Amino acid sequence: MRRSVYIKTFGCQMNAVDSARMLSLLSKADYDVAPSLEDADLVLLNTCSIREKADQKIYSELGVLRRWKTLRDGRLVGVGGCLAQQAGEALRSRAPHVDIVFGTHNISKLPEMVRLAERRTPSVKIGMEGEMTHWETAPYLAEGAASSMLTIMQGCDNFCAYCIVPAVRGREVSRPSADILEEARALAGKGVREIVLLGQNVNSYGKKEGEIPFHDLLRRIAKVDGISRIRFITSHPRDLDERTIGLFSEVEALCPHLHLPIQSGSDRILTAMGRGYGRREYLSKILRLRAARPGMAFSSDFIVGFPGESEDDFRDTLSVMEEVRYDSSFSFRFSPRPGTRAWEMGDRVGPEESRERLRTLQSLQDRHSRERLMEAVGKEMEVLVEGKSPKGPGKLCGRTPCHKMMNFTPGRSGGHLRKVHVVSFGAHSLSGEER
């Protein structure tokens, strides 16, 4: 008898891919996707722990699931991902109704853990020793999907002062290039036209394993028949080399959009963070990327209120934003995480001050985002269709090469890629008509 699973995913794109792997594995273990929480026999929370608020949200969800579990006999609750990796047995001590706790390197063990839970035997697996064993698990791909993420590596060796990733994802491990190319060809065979290469630091791909360099991997994927677009996340500015920058002028399939996190515009704060680059180096790479691909779009990450950040340091961050004029960004107040170097740092910025700085930064980003969207009005852009638009009946939505969301009225043509004329813009998206 088949049962059903409902997965709730928190955090980054890596977690989204991991959830897809969970679905793929469980589909072979007699579990179908539940349309809702109420219909599920098994609920999995795929968690994030990069900020304190993320932890709090998970434990709040577990409180809701305590009652959910009592409403029907045989229901199971599992917790995976970064919080599970970090908390381990302590998570079950705090939430005894959880049946399964599995870490970031234990996804392949999920079916056997579910079988144990069905026999009322809870289990916790958070070991990170040994090789990654779930690269080959094909991601669950929605029928007709035009875009797919493809993991090329996991973990990070940078140990930035604020970041918990090395502790919960482990050290850098790169997937064999032959396997990556095989999966890229398989995805293209299923109709995928855009591949998003995924890793905590894609620019350092393969260095430890003696694999082909990242720029060579990009070239080879661009030659896969059927692949029209390639993106990659996340890039560490220090490791973005000239050969990868040069590809933006050589490889048409490489989309003119790059997420390049800076975190702060202050050299003093960047040093305290342990980022390994300075403001001038970062901005120099932005200029070289724009020279390689005119009209290139950029997004970034910012942390405000890092320990010791002065008003002058914060103004340095705003001045970087004014110089680059990012299309979008993700910004957060500093959140101290146990086990990181920043956890021990003093000279904390007060909560009211950091909240005000965040409001100022986000207001500036909103202005830049609107300006970037306004510049697109009147232009014709290629859109990769993702599905129906929530903006009205009969409309479709998709992404431009610069990663802007487009809601548009379709014409008579079909296919995943459409030529759309931009007629207006909103707070976060474009509107257009296919002609």
396-425 pLDDT tens trace: 999 999 999 999 999 987 889 999 999 999
Domain ranges within the chain, ordered by starting residue: 3-125, 147-373, 377-434
> Span 193-198, mean pLDDT?
96
Where does 343-393 show beta strands of DSSP type E? 380-388
Please report where in the chains the tokens 């360099």 appear, as a residue: 213
Do you know the residue count of the chain?
435
> Span 107-111, mean pLDDT?
92
Where does 109-146 show beta strands of DSSP type E? 123-125
Q: Which two tokens stand for residue 155?
A: 């973990």
pLDDT in tens, 296-348: 999 999 999 999 999 999 999 999 999 999 999 999 999 999 989 999 999 99
CA-only gyration radius of the chain, Å: 22
Residues with Cβ < 8 Å from 22, sequence gap 6 or more? 5, 7, 44, 46, 80, 107, 110
- pLDDT above 80 (res 130): no
User: Which CATH number is correct for 377-434, 2.20.28.270, 3.40.50.150, 3.20.20.370, 2.40.50.140?
Assistant: 2.40.50.140
- The fraction of the chain above a pLDDT of 70, given in percent, is 97
- The fraction of the chain above a pLDDT of 90, given in percent, is 85
Architecture of domain 147-373: Alpha-Beta Horseshoe (3.80)
Q: What is residue 133's predicted lDDT score, i.e. its pLDDT?
A: 53
**Phi then psi dihedrals of residue 244, to 5 deg:** -70, -40
Residues with Cβ < 8 Å from 5, sequence gap 6 or more? 22, 23, 26, 31, 32, 33, 34, 40, 41, 42, 43, 44
Q: How far is CA 237 from the centre of its chain?
A: 17
Q: What is residue 137's predicted lDDT score, i.e. its pLDDT?
A: 46
Q: What is the secondary structure of 140-197 as a DSSP string?
A: P--TT-SEEEEE-EE--S---TT--HHHHH-S-EEPPHHHHHHHHHHHHHTT--EEEE
User: How much is the pTM?
Assistant: 0.92
Residue 353 Cα distances to 122, 309, 365, angstroms: 45, 11, 18
Report whether 425 contacts 377 (CB < 8 A). yes
The domains spanning 147-373 and 377-434 adopt the same CATH topology: no
pLDDT in tens, 253-285: 999 999 999 999 999 999 999 999 999 999 999
Q: Mean pLDDT in the chain?
A: 94
Task: Give the fold, CATH level 3, of 3-125.
Answer: Rossmann fold (3.40.50)
Cis peptide bond prior to 234, omega within 30° of 0: yes
